[in-house]
């Protein structure tokens, strides 16, 4: 692809971005996929031929840019030339901006620079426009992120901060694990915290945004880490459960009542059970259940024998449903059975420690439980006798 076509493509890309500020998703598409997209929506894409009529277009086949319904597709064949062109114009506009601000500083306030240059406002808009383009093509371009931080720090305009969240939305739509994009979002939230009246609304949207990305990519550590960081900006009802429990134990008047905490823990146990059944063989979910069960037994269950009995029934039902290995060809089912078995053994000890095992001894003798334990976790079968001794059986 010639340089002239690359420049034309860059101009067209920036035109699309400016003409549709509601674009919420970007994808890099193989040329063979454009025809399918166009057939589905019945539209004509941006092609190299429609952008430039030079003879160089003979070397380009297929589609280049696709935009419809606030979605933007860029051909993978155009990425490299677009990146080179975008980097060139960004660095050139940044150089002009630095020269202009340097001359302005040397001349001092109230003096007009002797050398001719475009207005600072125009230069700022140019650099912001080109930095956006380069970041959408290469999200690790640190110079572009840093310039945007610099300019926003000077301007301190709320609307510009909101535009940064939209920009990082776009970046994360194609690169959901971009550390620079997540870091930039945290920087924006820090900058507006305490300066805007609707921070809680922004935090709620941010939490929902992270949730959607995490659902699309379960192993996205950066998304989960971002949500953990976000907790500090959430109201008490969304804080980490240990923090809420601590406030309750310290009799914080702004905290939850015992009944509210009881319901919160039950809801979390129900949610954890759904996740255990949905994502088979995930140890972290079983460890979280240990935390929930331990806290509930210690702080909320001691006053109600009925609640304890119902809790035990539910945990044994969960164990029964998870200890059966449906398909031995998949390690996840074996892992699920193992985690279920070790959890029920751990729970037995916890109940005895808390002196809540009135009915647990009988329930452990339910027909088939020993067999399930041995099948689910044969390497720990010897623990069965110890478990019964712990319960007081002969």
Q: Which residues are within 8 A (CB) of 189 and not within 5 positions of it... i.e. 6 or more apart?
A: 202, 203, 206, 230, 233
pLDDT in tens, the chain (394 residues): 678 888 988 999 999 999 999 999 999 988 888 877 777 666 555 544 444 444 344 334 347 888 888 999 999 989 999 999 999 999 999 999 988 887 666 665 444 444 445 588 899 999 999 999 999 999 999 999 999 999 999 999 999 999 999 999 999 999 999 999 999 999 999 999 988 888 989 999 998 999 888 888 777 888 888 987 887 787 655 656 777 787 778 776 666 777 888 888 889 899 999 999 998 888 889 988 998 888 888 877 665 666 777 888 898 889 888 877 766 666 788 888 888 888 888 887 777 655 555 556 556 555 355 666 666 666 655 555 555 555 454 4
**3-class secondary structure, 26:** strand
DSSP letter for each residue of 78-135: GHHHHHHHHHHHHHHHHHHHHHHHHHHHHH-TTPPPSS----HHHHHHHHHHHHHHHH
Tokens representing 47?
């092609």
Alpha carbon distance 182, 175 (integer Å): 10
Alpha carbon distance 110, 147 (integer Å): 26
CA distances from 258 to 72, 119, 271, 298 (A): 50, 63, 20, 13
Tokens representing 223?
């998304």
pTM for the full predicted model? 0.61
The residues with which 46 forms a beta bridge, in sequence order, are 65
Q: Residues 243-274: pLDDT tens digits? A: 778 777 877 666 677 788 888 888 989 999 99
Categorise residue 10: left if φ over 0, alpha if ψ from -120 to 50, beta otherwise: alpha
Helices 283-299 and 331-353: crossing angle, nearest 10°? 20
Q: With residue 47 as reference, give the H or E element that holds it.
A: strand 46-47
Contact 347, 311 (CB under 8 A): no
Alpha carbon distance 15, 46 (integer Å): 12
CA distances from 389 to 325, 385, 393 (A): 27, 6, 5
Residue with tokens 């992120």: 145
Contact 338, 281 (CB under 8 A): no
Alpha carbon distance 103, 121 (integer Å): 15
107 CA to centre of own chain: 47
Nearest to 133 by CA among 95, 93, 90, 94: 90
Q: How many helices (H) and strands (E) does the chain have?
A: 18, 4
Q: Residues 97-140: pLDDT tens digits? A: 988 887 666 665 444 444 445 588 899 999 999 999 999 999 99
Residue with tokens 């010639």: 2
Contact 104, 120 (CB under 8 A): yes
Alpha carbon distance 178, 172 (integer Å): 7
Residue with tokens 């950066």: 222
Nearest to 189 by CA among 140, 145, 132, 233: 233
Q: Which residues are within 8 A (CB) of 311 and not within 5 positions of it... i.e. 6 or more apart?
A: 293, 296, 297, 301
């Amino acid at each position: 692809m010639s340089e002239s076509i690359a420049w034309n493509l860059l101009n067209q890309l920036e035109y699309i971005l400016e003409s549709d500020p509601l674009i919420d998703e970007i994808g890099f598409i193989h040329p063979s996929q454009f025809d399918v997209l166009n057939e589905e929506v019945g539209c004509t894409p941006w092609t190299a031929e429609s952008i430039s009529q030079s003879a160089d277009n003979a070397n380009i086949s297929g589609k280049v840019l696709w935009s419809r319904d606030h979605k933007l597709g860029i051909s993978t064949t155009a990425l490299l030339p677009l990146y080179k062109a975008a980097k060139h114009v960004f660095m050139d506009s940044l150089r002009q901006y630095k020269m202009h601000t340097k001359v302005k500083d040397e001349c001092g306030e109230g003096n007009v620079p002797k050398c001719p240059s475009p207005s600072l406002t125009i230069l700022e808009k140019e650099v912001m426009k080109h930095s956006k383009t380069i970041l959408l093509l290469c999200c690790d371009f640190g110079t572009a992120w840093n310039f945007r931080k610099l300019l926003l720090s000077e301007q301190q305009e709320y609307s510009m901060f909101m535009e940064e969240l939209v920009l990082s939305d776009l970046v994360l739509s194609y690169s959901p694990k971009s550390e620079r994009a997540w870091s930039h979002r945290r920087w924006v939230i820090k900058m507006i915290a305490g300066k805007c009246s609707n921070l809680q609304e922004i935090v709620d949207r941010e939490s929902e945004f992270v949730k959607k990305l995490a659902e699309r990519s379960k192993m996205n550590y950066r998304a989960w880490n971002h949500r953990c960081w976000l907790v500090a900006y959430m109201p008490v009802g969304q804080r980490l459960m240990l923090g809420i429990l601590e406030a309750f134990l310290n009799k914080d008047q702004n905290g939850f009542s015992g009944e509210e905490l009881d319901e919160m823990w039950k809801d979390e146990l129900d949610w954890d059970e759904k996740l255990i059944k949905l994502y088979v063989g995930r140890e972290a979910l079983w460890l979280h259940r240990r935390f929930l069960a331990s806290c509930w037994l210690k702080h909320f269950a001691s006053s109600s024998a009925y609640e304890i009995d119902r809790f035990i029934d539910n945990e044994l039902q969960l164990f029964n449903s998870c200890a059966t290995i449906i398909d031995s060809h998949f390690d996840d089912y074996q892992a699920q059975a193992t985690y279920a078995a070790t959890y029920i053994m751990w729970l037995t000890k916890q109940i005895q420690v808390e002196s809540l095992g009135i009915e647990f001894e009988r329930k452990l003798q339910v027909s088939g439980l020993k067999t399930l334990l041995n099948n689910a976790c044969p390497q720990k079968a010897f623990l069965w006798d110890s478990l019964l001794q712990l319960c007081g059986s002969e």
